[in-house]
Amino acid sequence: MWTIIPALILAGVAVPTTAAIFELTECGADAIEVEVIGHQWWFEYHYPDADVYTANVMVIPTDQEVCAKLTSDDVIHNFWVPQLNGKRYLIPGQTTELRLQADEPGEYWGHCAEFCGLSHSLMRARVQALEPAEYQAWLEGQQAPVTLPAEGTPEYDGYQVFLNKGCIQCHTVRFDQEEQSNIVPPEAFNGPELTHFASRNVFVGATLPEEGESRAEALKRWLADPPTIKPGSYMPNLALTEQEIDDLIAWLESNG
């Protein structure tokens, strides 16, 4: 009897608990879907309904459930934004789900919670929650292509650096002229999409700029020698001159 009675109690608790766990982990039918792809060492975000790609900053509306579909492009990662929900693994070849919801607008910081290589500690996550109208305006802005800069401007010189120094082998930029679009082939290594780079206030796995550092200062340090800033970085030192770096920053900052 001392064995049977506790077993029946545990069974009575286990059945509704298991059902509740499945209910809490399944995304609602009206949830906004965001695909989260882990890379060494940054998070990529894809909004399939809007065909928007971005990196380092996930933007979501307040008071709306978000269904994060998680996977990895290389090794096992773990997406964790403590103020929004618990952890969930990102596994190559598999898709897991995580429900997120922000009740208040603001910034919510997270991290990769699974050791994933040399720069694991530099793989941060940032979620920006906006009021629904602001979120819709952001989404529409992200859908818009960027315009080619005018010849003779620093932005145009920076675009030429982008073309001629090998950046186009990994980074995609979507222009309003179809013939100028640079879409990285699926089989190539994909770095963060740069179409609306200037709309993100953090980059390099959401670790730059550091506190008290301007965007321009952080970009200059990064472009001068990426592997020093992020050990093991797949972005090589391209031996850019100071002028090339300044021009490239001018062009990147024009892509809002």
Do 241 and 160 fall into the same domain? yes
Same domain, 117 and 160: no
The pLDDT tens digits for 170-195 are 888 887 765 555 666 655 667 898 98
- Answer yes or no: do 119 and 172 share one domain: no
Q: How many CB atoms lie within 10 A of CB 162?
A: 20
The domain spanning residue 190 has which CATH number?
A: 2.60.40.420
Residue 94 lies in a domain: yes
Please tell me whether residues 37 and 129 are part of one structural domain.
yes
129 shares its domain with 165: no
The parent domain of residue 77 ranges over 32-135
In a domain, 143, yes or no: no
User: pTM of the prediction?
Assistant: 0.85
Is 4 domain-assigned? no
Q: Look at residue 200 and tell me if it is in a domain.
A: yes
Within a domain: 88:
yes
Domain edge (last residue) among 135, 162, 181: 135
Same domain, 158 and 123: no
DSSP conformation letters of 60-128: EETTS-EEEEEEESSS-EEEE-TTT--EEEE-BT--EEEEE--SS-EEEEEEE-S--STTGGG-EEEEE
Same domain, 129 and 84: yes
Q: What pLDDT shows up at residue 15?
A: 76
Whether residue 56 sits in one domain with residue 116: yes
Going residue by residue through the chain, which has 256 residues, state the pLDDT in tens, using 9 for 90 and above.
889 888 888 888 887 777 666 666 678 888 999 999 999 999 999 999 998 999 999 999 999 999 999 999 999 999 999 999 989 999 999 999 999 999 999 999 999 999 999 999 999 999 999 999 999 999 999 998 888 888 999 999 999 999 888 888 888 888 776 555 566 665 566 789 898 999 998 999 999 999 999 999 999 999 999 999 999 888 999 999 999 999 999 999 988 7
One domain, residues 121 and 200: no
Kindly state whether residue 9 falls inside one of the protein's structural domains.
no
170 and 217 part of one domain:
yes
Strands 52-55 and 42-47: antiparallel
What confidence tens digit (pLDDT) does each residue in 233-249 have? 889 999 999 999 999 99
3-state secondary structure 131-161: CHHHHHHHHHHHHCCECCCCCCCHHHHHHHH
pLDDT for residue 65 = 94
Task: Specify if 205 maps to a domain.
Answer: yes
| 174 and 95 housed in the same domain | no
Q: Of the residues 82, 104, 135, which one is the last residue of a structural domain?
A: 135
Regarding whether 197 and 162 lie in a shared domain, the answer is yes
For residue 123, being part of any structural domain is answered with yes
Instruction: Please count the structural domains in the chain.
Output: 2
